[in-house]
Amino acid sequence: MGTEGENVRVIAGRYRLESRLGRGGMGVVWRATDELLGRQVAVKEIPLDIDDALSVDEARRQRDRTLREARAVAQLRHPHIIVVHDVVEHDERPYIVMELIDGGSLADRISARGPVDAAEAARIGIALLSALRTAHEAGVLHRDIKPANVLLESGSDRVVLTDFGIAQVAGATTLTETGSFVGSPEYTAPERMSGARTGPESDLWSLGALLCTALSGESPFRRDSLGGILHAVVFDEIRPPVQAGPILPVVRGLLERDPDRRLDAAEAERMLRAFRDTGRSPQLPPGYTPTQRDVPRPPAPTPPAPTVETRRSTRGVLVAALLVAAMAGAGVSAAALLMNRDGADGGRTPTSSAPETSVSASASSGTPSASSTPSASDTASSATATHPSAPSGYRVADDPAGFSLAVPEGFTRKPQGERVFYMSSGETFRLGIKVTEPEAGGPLAVMRRAAAKGPDSNPGYHDGKVTATTRHGHDAALWEFTWNGFSTAEGPRHTYDLCWEEGGQMYDVWVSAPVGKVREAKEYFDVAVDTFART
């Protein structure tokens, strides 16, 4: 029996649970002392869904499956996989005893210090890919890779993949597959969403989403509802963030919707190591044939009217997403719902249609869709073969200065010297564009010089960061910073600014917004850079 004291329990006769470190979807983690060996450990207490509907035999089978899977994870030996010391059962409840990592998670680091740069993202990715190769070779899938499940050890910055609590030994049926959605939807592969299959490739998709989050601070699939997230994963365009530019081929290869075409762990690790060694964007493997999203697309003819089957397929995805959102609280399996959409596609998922860009558009953020008519000085047009279409809530503006881009509906044009602004009502959001002759040192040098003068041009300038990246294959630099605004009434603001050279010109596109509205600002910025075209 366990010893009960002042919030202290001893389980299995040796592990004294002392303080709770955290709680997740798959259990409570305790700081504990192994009284037999005199060392600090972490103990995960696994809850079991045992109720009156389960017989004694069924409850026992559930416990046995959980323990069997935990013991399989305990056999893994890798410097970047959490060490499992012991798997015990106490009062008919499983506990996993693990090494205690002194340090927070990658999610904690992003929250406290912001996104990491490309070199650090590559370092983390290399460690996780190496860990996953070991797990997959042993037949163990993680199934919940996300920043919260990656620990960074204090002092050494060792990267540790943890929380195999919903891991599945390949080929086994697990407790977690009996009804409710398993994992984190923003990081879940589309084939798992559709119920088609779950394999090592699904973990690699999750890693691709994790790298985007580490680089930008937000998953490219974040939306305001579960239905929106599922639709983004299964159906929407995939737009990696601009910060992913230096390692964009890796991110794109991992976020390939067709699992058979997804970049494998060995190649992804090789590419990231090449980037760390050379500082140059890695090349895809020789045998990799890019999908349509990876090659320049010719001008598209006017699309034919949708067929009945096309309408049914699109409707099926939309309805499935809405059903999942509505039924999630009732414990209905998301995978089962999506697997049964229309019943005619055999579980196939669409191939990613991400455009030739390294920019992320977070289509979820409640973008204003005001239908106000643009001013006479601002020309808007629908998409043609010469420039991209505008997302919902945006319009394509053909600017007299020789470029076009998508701007939010309701934004009006206000030129100021060599700069052109598109501004929201009250100038809360300011989208700026400047076209100049190339300058010495290229975009990176230009942005670094601007950042050095940041305190002079932007009152209260702080947290400035310049990152080398690319846009549509052209060298670019991203400058991001926070400042106090031009007046007390205006208040603190945050700015995203991308500079690149193309066609003998230097282009600079930026968005400035109140610090409390950075999510909307990031979307406006990403869409503007993504859709920008010379005219």
pLDDT of residue 182: 54
Average pLDDT of 477-494?
86
Average pLDDT of 171-188?
56
Are 19 and 146 in the same domain? no
Domain-located, residue 478: yes
**Helix, strand or coil, per DSSP, at residue 4:** strand
Percentage of the chain beyond pLDDT 90 is: 44
Q: Which parts of 138-199 fold into alpha helices (H)? A: 190-193
- Res 372 pLDDT > 50: no
Confidence of residue 198 (pLDDT cuts 50, 70, 90): confident
Average pLDDT of 460-481?
91
Residues 6+ apart with CB under 8 A from 99: 41, 42, 82, 83, 85
Domain-located, residue 353: no
Rounded Cα gap, residues 88 and 12, in angstroms:
7
Please state, in angstroms and as integers, the Cα–Cα distance from residue 215 to each residue in 129, 185, 210, 470, 525, following that order: 17, 19, 9, 14, 16
Average pLDDT of 45-59?
62
Which domain CATH number covers 42? 3.30.200.20
Confidence of residue 402 (pLDDT cuts 50, 70, 90): very high
Domain-located, residue 431: yes
Are 95 and 139 in the same domain? no
Domain interval for residue 335: 106-286+308-339
Domain-located, residue 347: no
Average pLDDT of 276-287?
86
* Residue-wise DSSP of 65-90: HHHHHHHHHHT---TTB--EEEEEEE
Both structure tokens of 135? 């797990």
Mean pLDDT of the chain: 77
Domain-located, residue 187: yes
pLDDT of residue 90: 87
| Bridge partners of residue 499, in order along the sequence | 477, 508
Neighbour count for residue 285 (Cβ, 10 Å): 15
The residue ranking higher by pLDDT, 63 or 505, is 505
Confidence of residue 229 (pLDDT cuts 50, 70, 90): confident
Are 262 and 332 in the same domain? yes
Neighbour count for residue 508 (Cβ, 10 Å): 20
Mean pLDDT check: name the lowest of 26-35, 167-176, 398-407, 445-454. Answer: 167-176
CA 117 to chain CA mean position, Å: 15
Domain-located, residue 200: yes
Are 169 and 260 in the same domain? yes
Among the listed residues 34, 86, 144, 497, the single catalytic one is 144
Per-residue pLDDT of 102-116, as tens digits, reads 888 999 999 999 999
Per-residue pLDDT of 506-532, as tens digits, reads 999 999 999 888 878 888 998 999 899
Q: Is 144 a catalytic residue?
A: yes
- Res 348 pLDDT > 60: no
Are 95 and 122 in the same domain? no
Per-residue pLDDT of 136-168, as tens digits, reads 998 888 888 999 999 999 988 899 998 875 555
The residue ranking higher by pLDDT, 293 or 62, is 62
- Res 341 pLDDT > 80: no
Confidence of residue 388 (pLDDT cuts 50, 70, 90): low
CA 149 to chain CA mean position, Å: 14
**Helix, strand or coil, per DSSP, at residue 55:** coil
* Residue-wise DSSP of 327-345: HGGGT--HHHHHHTSSS-S
Number of structural domains (the chain) is 3
Average pLDDT of 313-332?
42
The residue ranking higher by pLDDT, 8 or 183, is 8
Which domain CATH number covers 434? 3.40.1000.10
Which domain CATH number covers 273? 1.10.510.10
Domain-located, residue 292: no
Final residue in a domain of this structure, among 99, 123, 149: 99
Of 485, 488, 481, the C-alpha closest to 466 is 481
Domain-located, residue 367: no
- Res 203 pLDDT > 80: yes
- Res 177 pLDDT > 80: no
H/E stretch holding 95 reads: strand 93-99
Are 251 and 136 in the same domain? yes
Final residue in a domain of this structure, among 50, 69, 99: 99
For the ranges 285-294, 301-310, 393-402, the one whose mean pLDDT is highest: 393-402
Of 233, 236, 252, the C-alpha closest to 244 is 252
Confidence of residue 231 (pLDDT cuts 50, 70, 90): confident
Are 421 and 523 in the same domain? yes
Both structure tokens of 343? 């019943």
Are 72 and 113 in the same domain? no
The residue ranking higher by pLDDT, 77 or 24, is 77
Average pLDDT of 337-358?
32
Final residue in a domain of this structure, among 99, 123, 141: 99
Confidence of residue 65 (pLDDT cuts 50, 70, 90): low
Confidence of residue 72 (pLDDT cuts 50, 70, 90): confident
pLDDT of residue 168: 54
Are 163 and 65 in the same domain? no
Are 511 and 389 in the same domain? yes
Are 412 and 520 in the same domain? yes
Per-residue pLDDT of 412-431, as tens digits, reads 999 998 899 999 988 899 99
Are 86 and 139 in the same domain? no
pLDDT of residue 443: 95
Q: Please state whether 313 falls in left (phi above 0), alpha (psi between -120 and 50) or beta.
A: alpha
pLDDT of residue 91: 84
